[in-house]
Amino acid sequence: MILPKIRDARFITVRRGGSLSDRDHHMLAIWAAKCAEHVLTYFEAVYPKDNRPRLVIDLTLAWARGEIKTNEAKKAAYYSNAAAREVTGAASRHYQLARRLL
């Protein structure tokens, strides 16, 4: 499971009852995408034809810049999660870590 049953209000947006501002939410997404970029090479070395992780990183950054809507970014996250379920070994370990950050 990616998210705990009881979520920390600091990571829930204000409009959903938490304390995370939109500005901070965007900054957190950018930080997470940049962290994921650092381990993406491990995944791509094993699965060079699978562009789902790179796509979700690009779409996360586009969302943070206001270029796409949240629903489109969420859809990309589902594709990325599917990629994570299919990998094993070092690519899996590094990718699982990066995925938790996104």
12-46 in b/e form (b: 16+ CB < 10 A) is: eeeeeeeebeeeebbebbeebbebbeebbebbbee
Residue 3 maps to a domain: no
Helix intervals (H) in the chain: 22-46, 52-64, 70-86, 89-101
**Residue 47 domain boundaries:** 9-101
Low-confidence ranges of the chain (pLDDT < 70): 1-4, 87-102
In a domain, 89, yes or no: yes
Domain count, the chain: 1
pTM for this predicted structure = 0.72
Q: In the prediction, which pLDDT does 1 show?
A: 47
Per-residue pLDDT, 9: 79
- 88 in a domain, yes or no? yes
Within a domain: 32: yes
pLDDT score at 93 = 58
